[in-house]
Amino acid sequence: MQLADENYRVIINLAMPTGKFALPGEETIVAGLGIDYIPIPVVFDNPQLNELLAFINYMELHAGEKTMVHCAANYRASAFTGLYLFNKGELDASQMQSFIEDVWQPDDIWQQFIDESLEYLKEVKGEN
């Protein structure tokens, strides 16, 4: 499969396992390729800070490994990845928002989640 051929070592799936676009047996297929599979199911209209923190933790645990992050339409993936890159210091808040908006325009629920997560991450980093 192409992912293994391209040396991906980790796949993080932020979509719901029973969603419209879910790939039946994805975890088994990925494991069969020798790729670590990490599901963090995020309910699209109710993202939670603990899900983002789990994502950040897994990304840090697998730093240096080629990782693919996906969901159904890459909305969750872009928001979580943008916040992760902010947390790492690779993007500032404005760049992070642009990174997300290159993929989609977050609705009110997601913009509130992004804003609150950003404030939390700033506070943890001692920026507030």
Number of separate domains in the chain: 1
User: What is the Rg, in whole angstroms, of the alpha carbon atoms belonging to the chain?
Assistant: 15
Provide the mean pLDDT of the chain. 95
**Phi-psi domain of 94 (left: phi exceeds 0; alpha: psi -120 through 50; beta: other):** alpha
- Per the CB < 8 A criterion, the answer to whether 81 and 50 are in contact is no
Kindly report, residue by residue over 49-69, the tens digit of the pLDDT. Answer: 999 999 999 999 999 999 999
What is the span of the domain harbouring residue 96? 2-125
Mean pLDDT of 94-102: 98
**pTM, entire model:** 0.95
- For position 3, what pLDDT does the model report? 82
Is the pLDDT assigned to residue 20 strictly greater than 90?
no
CA distance 76 to 91: 18
How many H helices and E strands in the chain? 6, 3
Sheet holding 67-70, edge to edge: 36-39, 10-13, 67-70
CATH of the domain at 65: 3.90.190.10
